[in-house]
A and B are shown apart, each in its own frame.
Chain A
Amino acid sequence: MAAASPSSSGARGSGSGWWGRQSNARKREHLETLLGLVGFFTLAALVTTVWAELSGRPALIEVGVLVLFLAAFYFTYRSWQGYRDP
């Protein structure tokens, strides 16, 4: 599974639309903010899941939400790394 790395896809500093017009530094800042946002909700989902598991309640939905957030966190992290300073 390969994340859409800007360096590999050649998207660094190119493209159209709002995202394309941003400088790499700004893109990195935006992705870092998104990383914090997704990370916050991932942590909240993790705590909820662990609490549900420890208290013996069915936690299938909680686990599903956690997996979605983890995937989102992973892809955001990979994209963020793609704009790392040289």
Chain B
Amino acid sequence: MATRVETPSTASSSTKKQSSNGMKTFRTYFGVAIVVVWGLLPFYWMVVTAFRDVDYTYSTNPLPSNITLENFRAAFSTEAGNQFARALGNSLIIGVATTVFAMIVGVFAAYALARLNFRGKFIVLGIILGASMFPGVALVTPLFQLFTNIGWIDTYQALIIPNISFVLPLTIYTLTAFFREMPWELEESARIDGCTKGQAFRMVILPLAAPGLFTTAILAFIASWNEFLLASLLSDDTVRPVTVEIARFQGALPKVEPYTTVMAAGTIVTIPLIIMVLLFQRRIVAGLTAGGVKG
């Protein structure tokens, strides 16, 4: 058995290396901490204010103080004319419908763009990219005019259809990138085993693309859930989504913004998104295809 004799020079270089590694780890964690604090601080402040008594709305105490659940009760109360619960339901309907339609169309479009060879394929991708870059505010007036003419103002379809057009480019782009990375051999093997192109897509490609599909669906849902601009003009009392409802929250006193109630409503609104990510986080993890192909 060979014994390693540590000379002073090797010991010093090993200590130096350890110290350098320690510094590197510290820098990494410090950077991560800054990003996390930067990202979570507004949410922390929202939650702290949501639980704070209305008399202490402007308190600058960073720790939770004067805790009460009254703000959450006030958020759901309809006494001041707020319809928060209905708005939550509306947002859910609009978000789910948008996500489902966008995913159905997006999956086929992305598969075609990633796997099939046809003339002008990249021109289509460019057009989709252009459509996603088109400023939403430029569409507000024409859409308002159009939907007024056909009597669609304050209907679900008036919010769902424009939302689909905003979410679809995101869906197609994300799924195209995902399908492109999947090994061709899997599909070819399925074809050799007797599958048609459609069967290979349905039985082999789609199950393997599940993490990408879930990730894209979550992104589409979040984009639709957070939409404000079009909803603020195209919706009225019946189908108003939660983003618009919070913006027009009325407090008990006239001309006094009910900040604590708004924060409570904001906290409630973020809960479905957190639940979705927690439920599907295992599906989101990439690498389902790892080991699917030999060599």
Alpha-carbon separation in the docked complex, A80 to B131 (Å): 21
Nearest-neighbour CB distance to chain A for B194, whole angstroms, equals 32
Separation of A35 and B124 alpha carbons in the complex (Å): 9
Give Cα A34–Cα B125 distance, bound, in whole angstroms: 9
CB of B125 within 8 A of CB of A40, answer: no
Do A36 and B134 touch (CB < 8 A)? no
Contact A40 B122 (CB under 8 A): no
Q: Is A29 an interface residue (CB 8 A)?
A: yes
- Per the CB 8 Å criterion, the residue count for chain A at the interface is 13
Say whether B34 faces chain A, with CB atoms less than 8 Å apart: no
B123 part of interface (Cβ distance < 8 Å): yes
Please classify the interface of chain B as helix (H, G, I), strand (E, B), loop, or mixed, using the class held by over half of its residues. helix
Q: Does A37 contact B (CB under 8 A)?
A: yes
Contacts of B128 in A (CB 8 A): 36
Are the CB atoms of A34 and B126 closer together than 8 Å? yes
Q: Among residues 126 to 140 in chain B, which have CB atoms less than 8 Å away from a CB atom of chain A?
A: 126-131, 133-134
Q: How far is the CB of B117 from chain A (nearest CB, A)?
A: 12
Q: For chains A and B in complex, what number of residue pairs have CB atoms within 8 angstroms? A: 43
Q: DSSP majority for the A interface? A: helix
- Report the minimum CB–CB distance from A45 to chain B (whole Å): 12
User: A42 to nearest B CB, angstroms?
Assistant: 10
| A35 and B130 contact, CB distance less than 8 A | no
Report A23-72 residues with CB < 8 Å from chain B CB.
29-30, 32-41, 44
Contacts of B129 in A (CB 8 A): 33, 36-37
Q: In B52-77, which residues have CB < 8 Å from any A CB?
A: none
- Residue on A with the closest CB to B138? A44
Q: How far is the CA of A32 from the CA of B131 in the complex (A)?
A: 16
Please name all residues of chain B whose beta carbon is closer than 8 Å to the beta carbon of A40 when the two chains form the complex: 126-127, 130-131
Complex interface bits, A7-24 against B, C-beta within 8 A gives 1, otherwise 0 = 000000000000000000
The answer to whether B123 and A39 touch across the interface, beta carbons within 8 angstroms, is yes
* A11 and B124 alpha carbons, distance in the complex (Å): 27
The smallest beta-carbon distance between A79 and chain B, in angstroms, is 14
Give min CB distance, B125 to chain A, whole Å: 5
Tell whether B120 is near chain A: CB-to-CB under 8 Å: yes
B40 CB, nearest partner CB in chain A, Å: 35
Q: Which of A30, A32, A44 has the most CB of B within 10 A?
A: A32
* Subset of 7 A-B contacts with CB under 8 Å: A32-B120, A32-B126, A36-B122, A36-B128, A36-B130, A39-B126, A41-B130
Chain A residues proximal to chain B, CB less than 8 Å? 29-30, 32-41, 44
Q: Which 10 A-B pairs have the closest CB atoms?
A: A36-B126, A40-B130, A32-B122, A36-B123, A37-B126, A33-B126, A36-B127, A33-B122, A37-B130, A40-B127
